[in-house]
Amino acid sequence: MEEIIRLEGVKKYYLVRRGLLGSQTLKALDGVSLTIGKKETIAVVGESGCGKSTLGRVSIRLLEPTDGCIYFKGEEITRISERELRQRSFRRKMQIVFQDPYSSINPFMKIGDVLAEPLEIHGFPRHEIKARVMQVLEDVKLSPPEEFAERYPHELSGGQRQRVNLAKALILDPEYMVADEPVSMIDASSRAEILLLLRSIRDSREMGILYITHDIATARYVSERIAVMYLGEIVEAGVTTSVLRRPIHPYTTLLLNSVPEPDPFGRRKRRYVIKGEPPSPLNPPTGCKFHTRCPIAVEKCKTAKPILLEYETDHFAACHRAEEIINGSVTLTSSTP
């Protein structure tokens, strides 16, 4: 498979001032490696603060990594200048869609003008601009395009606005797109439409997509592979179906457990949930960062950091007890409720 984006050991640290004298390091990303191919969507899931949005931003160089390398189609772009990023069209080829469809479109501009702007900035000829705007509106299923081009953002629903955002990202024909929680603020009835759209544009435009979400159920429909993050690190990654059907890492299992499903006979069953909340990334636990909340943590987990290993074909996990979990000699629910 042709590779679009490759991240190798990417780190993003922030210095956080504490009082007058000291400062502390916040490790938002602590050594993340990831490859996204052409016509492939990778979902990154995790709780707030796990670093998933930082990962998305670093991958398109909206944020500068502290360490590690970023490759775009095999070429390293980690440290090339902003001017070069623009001149050599890297900026055009890498786009992002943000979460909030209400605050990310200029309310005083017509949709057609919103979409034409990036083309004008990139110096497209006038006659081509109109044709491209109409085409991209069709692509995101805002039709008739002539009509939508004349509308203002407030005349659109949340789902329609998010499709405008998608169109905005697509209009420059990117090869890589970061979609950061694109459906979390959309009503259920229109959410599915955005998800389906993400699938179809990936295929028709042969793009690589990084789909960032806290909602593991939506990840299933758009991604071939999935990476689960916890406190700045990938704890499990692999083919979406096998990660969701046979999760290895206890964090993934418990995350899946906390997702509610419509259940006609679910009446008030108590759920088995993860204890506590994610620890502060300013002061992460030693060893395995999940050990403070893990129901099956042993002594080793407190001291030694597990590494990401391949346990099944294209299914990786970073857990000292992975073997036992896979062969069934330890289960999560058998321990304390």
Partner 1 sequence: MSSTEILRVEKLKVYYSTPKGHVRAVDDVSFSLQRGESLAVVGESGSGKTTLGLTLMRALPRNANIVSGKIFLNGEDTLSLSVGEFRKKYSWKVISMVLQGAMNSLNPVLKVGDQVAEPLIYKMGLSREDAKKIAEEFIELVGMPRDFYNRYPHELSGGMRQRIVIAMALVMKPQILILDEPTSALDVTIQAQIINLVKDLIDNLKLSVIFVTHDVALASDVSDRIAVMYGGQIIELGRLDQVLGDNPAHPYTEKLLASLPRLRGDNVPEFIPGRPPDLVFPPPGCRFHPRCPYVFDKCRVEDPPLFRQDSDHLVKCWLRG
Answer yes or no whether residue 259 interacts with partner 1 by CB under 8 A.
yes
Number of residues that bind partner 1 (CB under 8 A): 44
Q: Which of 74, 267, 328, 329 binds partner 1 (CB under 8 A)?
A: 267
182 touches 159 (CB < 8 A): no
CA torsion angle 149 150 152 156 (round to 10): -60
Q: Site mask, partner 1, residues 151-180, x = CB under 8 A?
A: ------xxxx--------------------
- The candidate with the shortest Cα–Cα distance to 55, out of 10, 100, 3, is 10
User: Near partner 1 by CB under 8 A, which window of 21-29, 57-65, 79-87, 181-189?
Assistant: 181-189
Answer yes or no whether residue 226 interacts with partner 1 by CB under 8 A.
no
293 vs 46: CA distance, rounded Å: 15
* DSSP letter string, 196-245: HHHHHHHHHHT-EEEEEES-HHHHHHH-SEEEEEETTEEEEEEEHHHHHH
Answer yes or no whether residue 217 interacts with partner 1 by CB under 8 A.
yes
Answer yes or no whether residue 266 interacts with partner 1 by CB under 8 A.
yes
28 touches 64 (CB < 8 A): no
**Nearer CB in complex with partner 1: 174/238:** 238
Answer yes or no whether residue 283 interacts with partner 1 by CB under 8 A.
no
61 vs 170: CA distance, rounded Å: 18
Intra-chain end-to-end CA distance of the chain, in Å? 44
- Taking the complex as a whole, the smallest distance from the CB of residue 236 to partner 1 amounts, in Å, to 15
User: Near partner 1 by CB under 8 A, which window of 52-60, 76-84, 92-100, 272-280?
Assistant: 272-280
Residue in the block written with tokens 């509308």: 151
Answer yes or no whether residue 19 interacts with partner 1 by CB under 8 A.
no
Q: Which residues bind partner 1 (CB under 8 A)?
A: 47-48, 157-160, 187-193, 195-196, 214-218, 220-221, 244, 254-271, 273-274, 277
